[in-house]
Amino acid sequence: MVDRLNRQAVRREQTTDVSMLERLVAPDGKDVLDIGCGGGALVRELACRGARAIGLEVSQQQLGPALARDPDGRARYLVGRAQALPLPDASVDVAVFMRTLHHVPPADLRLTLAEARRVLRPGGAVYVAEPLAEGDFFALTSLVDAELEVREAAQAALAAAGPAGLDRVTTVDYDVRVSVPGLAGLRARMVSVDPARAAAFDARKARLAEAFERLGEDGEGEGEGCFLQPMRADVLRASA
């Protein structure tokens, strides 16, 4: 694989999603809600670092992987939708959308941000990290689903968050290094977000294999590829 990682990293800082979140909202010791927690990796990481972490998913089935990977129950998990959070007013210090805001239907984005605002305590923050439509990982995954319209809608909602009772106070662009355990791992990752992608992935498997080899850098594991994904982190706080 060609070495693209170092050449691209000069454009912006390369770090991790968790490091950026810690820098901007200092979640340790706080009640932190991860909206759309998926397999629960962020929830577990935050709990290990001292946050009182809560993971939210849309169904018990979607929560299954997170619960299975947290047998000690270090975190709390809830079933619910971002548009109607199953929490009382002013009950969390940080509400996090980690790569999940663009999965909310565009028509529901204002309501979703208003719900995040509702559950914030005074002085709390809504933290949003969204992948940007650029970089090698985007070039790879866009062969299946570029998500351009929903990504643009999410950014527009953040820029116009006033009606939801929020002000966008901090924005930082950064790069993350994404490690993928081969083409099968990429398929599993993409299909877990949207099962409808399976057919498109399989139909383009040859193109994806070529792009995986061309765009990535060799990882530590056999067949592992590493790619840079540009990200944008936003901190929003309650309007005065």
106-125 residue pLDDT tens? 999 999 999 999 999 999 99
For residue 6, is pLDDT > 90? no
Average pLDDT of the segment spanning 133-152: 95
Domain membership of residue 152 as a residue range: 5-238
Phi/psi for 233 (5° steps) reads -105, 135
For residue 177, is pLDDT > 70? yes
What is the CB-side half-sphere exposure of residue 64 using CA atoms within 13 A? 5
Residue whose entry in the numeric block shows the structure tokens 């962020």: 42
Q: What 8-state DSSP symbol labels residue 48?
A: H
Q: How far apart are CA 116 and CA 144, in angstroms?
A: 30
pLDDT band at 8 (very low <50, low <70, confident <90, very high): very low
Tens-digit pLDDT profile for residues 81-107: 999 999 999 999 999 999 999 999 999
Q: Give pLDDT, residue 10.
A: 43
pLDDT band at 11 (very low <50, low <70, confident <90, very high): low
For residue 23, is pLDDT > 50? yes
The two tokens of residue 53 are: 């972490």
Phi/psi for 133 (5° steps) reads -85, 60
SS (H, E, C) 138-159: HHHHCCCCCCHHHHHHHHHHHH
For residue 59, is pLDDT > 60? yes
Q: How far apart are CA 8 and CA 1, in angstroms?
A: 15
22: helix, strand or coil? helix
Phi/psi for 7 (5° steps) reads -70, -35
Q: Into how many domains does the chain fold?
A: 1
The two tokens of residue 4 are: 């693209």
Q: How far apart are CA 210 and CA 207, in angstroms?
A: 5
Average pLDDT of the segment spanning 120-137: 97
Tens-digit pLDDT profile for residues 192-201: 888 899 999 9
Residues 6 or more apart from 94 whose CB is under 8 A from it? 25, 27, 30, 31, 32, 33, 124, 125, 126, 127
Least confident of 8-17, 151-160, 193-202, 212-221: 8-17
A 10 A CB-CB count for 143 gives 16
Burial (CB count <10 Å: 0-12, 13-18, 19+), residue 119 = buried
CATH of the domain at 168: 3.40.50.150
Q: Give pLDDT, residue 240.
A: 81
H and E: helices and strands count for the chain:
10, 8
Q: Pick the closest to residue 146 from 158, 129, 130, 132 (CA basis).
A: 132
- Percent residues over pLDDT 70 in the chain: 95
For residue 204, is pLDDT > 80? yes
Average pLDDT of the segment spanning 148-167: 97
Q: Give pLDDT, residue 194.
A: 86
Q: Specify the amino acid at residue 110.
A: R
Tens-digit pLDDT profile for residues 30-40: 999 999 999 99
Q: Give pLDDT, residue 222.
A: 92
pLDDT band at 3 (very low <50, low <70, confident <90, very high): very low
pLDDT band at 5 (very low <50, low <70, confident <90, very high): very low
Q: Give pLDDT, residue 193.
A: 83
